[in-house]
Amino acid sequence: MRNALSDKITTIKPSGIRKFFDIVSEMDDAISLGVGEPDFDTPWHIRDEGIYSLEKGKTFYTSNAGLKELRQEICNYYGRKQGVIYDPLRETLVTVGGSEGIDLALRCMLNPGDEVIIPTPCYVSYEPCTIMADGVPVILPLKNENQFRLTPEELESAITEKTKILILAFPNNPTGAIMEKEDLEKIAAIIEKHDIYVISDEIYSELSYKSKHVSICSIPGMRERTIVINGFSKAYAMTGWRLGYVLGPELIVKQMIKLHQFAIMCAPTTSQYAAIEALKNGDDDVAEMTEAYNQRRRFLMNEFKEMNLPCFEPFGAFYVFPCIKEFGMTSEEFALKFLEEEKVAVVPGTAFGDCGEGFLRISYAYSIEDLKVAIGRLRKFVEKLRNEK
Amino acid sequence: MREKILKAIEKNSRIDLKELAVMLGEEEIDVVNEIAAMEAEGVICGYHTLIDWEKTSIEKVSALIEVRVTPQRGQGFDTIAERIYKYPEVNSVYLISGGYDLLVSLEGKSLKEVSNFVSDKLSTLDTVLSTATHFILKKYKDHGTVLAKKYVDERLKMTP
């Protein structure tokens, strides 16, 4: 038989998290700190709207770009939070999670050979989606000493004649790093100078603990070269609803709507009705959940300090990214041994890029009680390793 | 800081104060002082334990009683409410808007004990016009805590 597969897909490595997932799933008694989604249920009033829409028989396709009312609410939200006004009819697209938006943007913007700068450690989909869209991923390792922020020098060094897109994902998964306004302004100048575009993945935008999240689209000159990716999963604890959105210049969004129409048709209707309620009346829920995450974050940072485990203070998302280089093991070895001996699962930093070597991603989307037990075991494990040395 | 402390100890009054201070990003001494101040001011009125008596072998019956009363000149509902809340078996007394005046919750050892209280003590008060007693059959959720079901984490154990 002929080879059934495309060359492109076969060159892509499976997600580094897969191996651990298989091991952890077999261990019933393991505590996992490896989850990348909120531990909260979707707030009841949001679920209720979804249920209500089903009861009323709202079970048909929506328009390709999404319900008009939802798109309007999304634009109101960005106007309210970032002071940037988007047109709900021409510059807004409702997608199946933020992930779809990333895929669509890359596929609509890249020509073969175009380079995409991907600062790492980062979420797992940017590189494979770039490859599938015929782009060339340019991996840019960020540094612990910069608190995993992207510096202008680093960006400048990665740009070539062929650079077309920079992927900017802050607050960041897996590091928890954020980029503040001053950081973005410096980056923006370079982006403009070299005439490149930005895909700004802001899925964790609400989970920012030092200052309110600033989107690069609000920096002068950036709106017309930025595709904003956001969604409902993290802020409203709505991962399973699979709902995200894209905001950007009409020129690009129009093509994305076209591709979305052929590939997806429209985002799930029930989820769209629930999302309208989330944007209209969900601010208090978001504030409450954010406060809970922030308390857990402070708790973990204090625990790391007490056990002398180096970790820069992350101000975003729900991850901490401690450094384990002192133990002379790879991240994967450490994570495996920790899992075997203490029955706690964490994700090796290398699952998010080679430069994650020497780090672990620990999620705090868990109750403080669970975190206490897990961190108690980490402390024991770390002390044991130090004594063995 | 007050609101955050109150929210935290409302859920868990046994929380370690050093830990609470870390979680709120405050100094422990400030948290301790703030709590002492709120105790002195009567903002914090007590520290109770939420018990699911169903899970013990101790028999308990609880009831909610709607009470309609005649308010007294110059004193409104306060005097009659006081007469009711002084009974030790009474857990709470609320003045309520709507179809009746006072909502009284109480606990007894048996149905009979509760009924006796209502017929002998409550109904016989001069100002009480009528009562309606509702026995609680099952507590699903109390003080924001779900009693009826255990939380199960249904998330995949590891996701990117």
Q: Does B155 touch chain A (CB under 8 A)?
A: yes
B16 touches chain A (CB under 8 A): no
Q: pLDDT tens across A368-386, in order?
A: 999 999 999 999 999 999 9
Residue with tokens 């169903």: B54
| pLDDT computed for residue A238 by the predictor | 98
- Rounded to 5°, the CA angle A161-A162-A163 comes to 100
Q: Which residues of A touch B160 (CB under 8 A)?
A: 15, 17, 36, 123-124, 173, 347, 351-352
CB A249 within 8 A of CB A256: no
A with B: how many residue pairs have Cβ under 8 Å apart?
53
pLDDT in tens, A188-227: 999 999 999 999 999 999 999 999 999 999 999 999 999 9
More confident residue, B151 or B78: B78
Domain residues of chain B, as ranges?
2-41, 53-138
Q: Name every residue whose Cβ is closer than 8 Å to that of residue A383 and which is 6 or more positions away in sequence.
A: A307
From the list A303, A72, A124, the residue with the least C-alpha distance to B19 is A303
Residues 36-55 of A with CB under 8 A from B: 36-37, 39
Q: Residue A10, Cβ neighbours under 10 Å: how many?
A: 8
Rounded to an integer, the average pLDDT of B73-99 is 92
Residue A304: list chain B partners with CB under 8 A. none
What is the CATH topology of the domain spanning B53-138? Alpha-Beta Plaits (3.30.70)
- pLDDT of A256 higher than 90: yes
Pairing of strands A115-120, A163-168: parallel
Residue A25: what pLDDT? Answer: 87
Complete domains list, chain A, with CATH: 7-42+284-382 (3.90.1150.10), 59-281 (3.40.640.10)
Among A42, A92, A87, which Cα is nearest to A64's?
A: A92
CB contact under 8 A, A296 and B23: yes
A-chain CB neighbours of B158 within 8 Å are 17, 20-21, 24-25, 32, 34-35, 345, 347
Q: How far apart are CA A202 and CA A220, in angstroms?
A: 18
Instruction: Give the pLDDT band (50/70/90) at residue B73.
Output: confident
- Residues near B90 by beta carbon (within 8 Å), at least 6 away in sequence: B84, B104, B105, B106
Of residues A51, A95, A45, A41, the one with CA closest to residue A70 = A95
Tell me how crowded residue A144 is: count the other CB atoms within 10 A of its CB: 17
A147-167: per-residue pLDDT in tens?
Answer: 999 999 999 999 999 999 999
Paired tokens of A338? 């920790």
Using a CB–CB cutoff of 8 Å, tell me whether A15 touches chain B: yes
Number of C-beta neighbours around residue A158 at 10 A: 18
Looking at the DSSP assignment, which residues form a beta bridge with residue A228? A200, A247
Q: Using the 8-state DSSP alphabet, how is residue B76 labeled?
A: B
